Amino acid sequence: MNVAGALSGCKELLAEDSRFAGCQELSTGESAVMWAANGSDAINIKYIMTDGADMGWMGLGLNVHGSMKGADMWVVHRQGQGWAVTDARAVAFAHPLADTSQDVVLRSMDYKDGIWSAVLSRKLKPCDLAGDYEIVPGQQFVMLWAHGMVATRNFAGVTYHGLNNRGSVDVALLTEQASPTHAAVAEDSAAAAAPSEETEQQQQQQQPPAAQIAAIVGNFMRGRENNNAAPICLSPRKYHIIGYESIWRSSMVHHSLTYACQPGSQFEADAKQLMAVNGTGPYDLDSHIKKCSQLYMVAPHRKAPPTTLPQEAGLPMGKGSFSIFLVEMHYYNPTAASGKSDPGSGLRLKFQPASVRGVDAGFLTVGQFDLNIPPGQPTYVARTATCTPGCTKRFTQNLTIIRQMVHGHYLSKTFRTGWVRNGVELKPLATMKLNDFNFQSWLPTDPNHSTLMPGDQLTLTCVYNSRGRTNVTKWGWGAREEMCFWFIMYYPAQPVAFCAQGFNDLLPMTVCTDTTKDITAMYEPYYVTNNLTQVLAIVSDAIKAGRAIMPDPIMKIDKPYNLAQGCSATKPL
C-alpha cells in the first residue's frame, strides 16, 4: 500500500479497496482519507496513516476553518486491550470534550506493514447539532488530522499530538473523484473553455505578461494594528479575475480587502488625481476610504488556500468596468513593535479576457456598525443586521452564491446567519460555531441551497465574549475593536454591494447601495461626535438618491426553520 503522491496514491488506494469511491491525501506519503456513502443517510470513512506499532490514537475533525476551535472530532484511541472511537468537539486548544451523544461507529482497526487503517461510520446529520456538523455531499469543509500517544488506555489518556503530527486540508466528502489539496489558481485557469470570440493565440498576445499583478505594499506600518491602502492601475481592456491568492511577506499581515472605484465617478477621478501626484502609494486609511468604497475582493487569513471562482463567472476589471482598485492590507502588531516594515505583501491575480466566462461576479456585504460590547460578558449578543426584502427586490434575477465569509475580531465568538423567503425561514446559509481570529477563511456553502432570490431576507447576528476586557468595546478597524460582517461572493453581479438595517431602533433605515460611502460618512458624526445635523444630511441625501430605504419593514417569520429537521438519532448500520 502506498499513500505517497496526491492523486496517484489515491487512485491506487481506491483500486485496492473498491468499497470506497472518494479519496483525499492528508499528508504526502503519510496519511489519506477515503469515503463512501452508507445508504442514503450515512457515510463510511477510512483513515489510513503510517506510524509505529505503539501509536496510541489517531483522529479526524471537520471544521469551517483550519483551527481546532469549534471542530467536530472523531478520535480513535486505545481502550483497554482493544480500540474505540470517541465522538468529540473542541472548544479550545486543549483536550477535546466527549459529546453527550456518541454518533460515530468504529467498524475496524488494523495494522499491517507500518500502516494503520481505521474504518468509521456516521450519519450525515446526527441530532447532536451542537457538537456535530451536518455532512452535505460536495460541500467543502476543512478536515483536520492528528495522531499521537496515550498516557492511559482510554479517551482521557489521549496526549498532545505535538507540532508535527497534525495538519489540515480542504475536502468535499461524498464526491466521487480524488480531489487535490488546496487547488491552485493555475489549475482553475487551465480548465477554462477557449474564448468564444478570440483564438488562443490572440488571447495570449493581448493578455498582460504572466497574467498577474502584484500589489506591493512596503515600508509603512504604524506601531499597532494597521491598515494600508495601495492603488492598482489595470489594463483598459475588460478581463475577469478567475482566481487570486495572497502574497505574505510580513508576519504581521492578517488579511486584505480590495475596494473598487466606481467607473466614471468623482471618486475615480479623485483617485486618478491622487495617483498622478503621489504615485500608487501606499496611502493611509483616511486617504483611501474617501476615494473608493465598493468592496471588490476579500483575501482571507494567511493560512487560507488560494481563492478560485467557478467556471461560470469572474470578477470584472478593465474597460467598461472597474479600472482603479485600492488594496487595503490589515496588519496585527499587538506588541506595538517599532521599526517593522513590509517588504512587499499584496495579491497575485489570475485573469483572462471577460469573453471566456461572460458573467460578472460581485460581493454583497451584510453588516452591523452599532457595536457597544460591555466588558466581562462571556456571551454578548449584538443587534441583528438585516438585509431586507425592500433591498433584495432590487436584484434583477436569482443569484448563485460562490463563497461566504463572516468577519469579526478577537472578541467574536459565534456568528448566526438567517435566510427568510415569503415568511418561511430557510436553512442558514453559513454557520460559525466558534470563531478563531487567526483562522478566518471562506465558509462551506451547501451546493443545494445557494440561490438567492429577489425579495429574500438575510440576517446576521454576531455574538461576543468580552471576558478580560475592562472597558466597552466599540466598532472599529483595530483588532482590539470589533466588527460584524458577512461577505457573500456571488454571480451575476448586481448594483447592490452593501445591505443592512440594524443601526438603531430609532433609525429604521436600510442602507441598500453599491458602496459603503454612506456608512463610513455617517460613522464619525453618529458614533463619535454626535453631530445629528450632519447625520440628518447624510441620511436625507442617501434616501433621496435611492441608496437607502426608510421606512423599510423587516419580514416577519411565519414558519421558523427547524435545525433538527431530517436529523437521525440512531447510529448507522
Beta bridge pairs of residue 314 = 360
Tabulate helix, strand, coil % of the chain (nearest 5): 15, 40, 50
H runs (alpha helix) in 220-376:
266-278, 285-289
Q: What pLDDT is attached to residue 104?
A: 96
Distances (CA, A) of 330 to 258, 284, 341, 356, 532: 11, 11, 13, 33, 31
Distance (Å, whole) CA 358 – CA 350: 16
What mean pLDDT comes out for the span 481-507? 86
Q: What number of other Cβ atoms are within 10 A of residue 278's Cβ?
A: 12
* Structural domains in the chain, sorted by start: 6-172 (2.60.40.1210), 185-356 (2.60.120.310), 361-561 (2.60.120.230)
Q: Can you give the pLDDT at residue 511? A: 86
Kindly tell me if the per-residue pLDDT of 548 is higher than 60.
yes
**Band of pLDDT at residue 288, cut at 50, 70 and 90:** low
Residue 81: how many CB atoms within 10 A of its CB?
A: 6
Residue 175 or residue 402, greater confidence? 402
Distances (CA, A) of 92 to 56, 97, 255, 424: 22, 10, 23, 35
Q: Is the per-residue pLDDT at 509 higher than 70? A: yes
Q: What pLDDT was estimated at residue 95?
A: 95
> What residues form DSSP beta bridges with 512?
499
The H helix count followed by the E strand count for the chain is: 8, 36
SS3 string, 204-248, reads HHHCCHHHCCECCECCCCCCCCEEEEEEEECCCCCEEEEEEEEEC
Summarised one tens digit per residue, pLDDT across range 289-332 is 566 778 888 888 766 778 999 999 999 999 889 888 888 888 88
Element at 11 (helix H, strand E) = helix 6-16
Q: Is 275 left (phi over 0), alpha (psi -120 to 50) or beta?
A: alpha
pTM score, two decimals?
A: 0.83
- Cβ atoms of residues 250 and 290 within 8 Å: no
Name the DSSP letter for residue 58: E
What type of residue sits at position 456? D
